[in-house]
Amino acid sequence: MVEQLRLINASAQVSYELVSEQNKARFESIFASLNNGLDEWLSLARAKDEGENTDPLTLKLLIEVLRKLENIENLLQSKAQGQNLELANSNLAVSLGYEGFAFDEACLKSGELYFAKVLIQGFVKKHIGLYFIALDDKTAKITRFSKSDEKEWAQNVARAELSAIRASKDNG
């Protein structure tokens, strides 16, 4: 029996590739480059109540600028080292959920492990790295992402759910 995920109508651009012994190290490198230490530092600082007198908007903007700089640095380093950050496939996921997503066309091999970069739309556009297992030829169950990316993903799904609820109230 195929596992069922609770999905809603929302979309995200997903670049993905089948994981193999030959590309596993490259994907781990990409995964690490997408997961910067800024989020972990910020979580630790909040836990210690550091920066409690700091304007939250200013702090958020500063963090985003630092993220952009870190992304540029990672991109330049990967090009200098000859690493390819592009993935073999790219499709639009048309349904999202907290545990996974689905494409509208058959593009996956059931039971296989994939690495993906997903473009999250929000205050700031951001790519998150994740691993997923194909439940069937269209449906993906997320198996791994960083704590900060998991939070970003959950916030993105929650925003989509709220939008769907508002739309149904407006139409109903």
- In this prediction, residues 94-116 reach a mean pLDDT of 97
Question: How far separated are the first and last CA of the chain, in Å rounded?
Answer: 35
The more confidently predicted of residues 112 and 127 is 112
Of 160 and 35, the one with more pLDDT: 160
SS3 75: helix
In angstroms, how far apart are the furthest CA atoms of the chain? 55
Query: For residues 136 and 110, is the Cβ–Cβ distance under 8 A?
Result: yes
* pLDDT-derived band at 41, boundaries 50, 70, 90: low
- pLDDT for the residue numbered 75: 65
* C-alpha–C-alpha distance, residues 75 and 72, integer Å: 5
Give the containing element (helix H, strand E) for 150: helix 147-171
Tokens describing residue 4: 């069922």
Top-confidence residue, 16 or 155 = 16
User: For 71-92, how does the pLDDT look when each residue is reduced to its tens digit (9 = 90+)?
Assistant: 777 667 656 555 556 899 999 9
pLDDT digits (tens, 9 = 90+) for 57-72: 887 788 778 877 877 7
**pTM for the full predicted model:** 0.78
Helices 24-34 and 56-80: crossing angle, nearest 10°? 150
Task: Please name which of 95, 91, 103 lies closest in space to residue 11, comparing C-alpha atoms.
Answer: 95
**Average of pLDDT values for 34-58?**
69
Share of the chain above pLDDT 90, in %: 47
Beta-strand relationship, 126-134 and 139-144: antiparallel
- The tokens describing 160, both together, are 């989509």
Average pLDDT over residues 147-163: 89
Q: Which residue has the tokens 């800024």?
A: 38
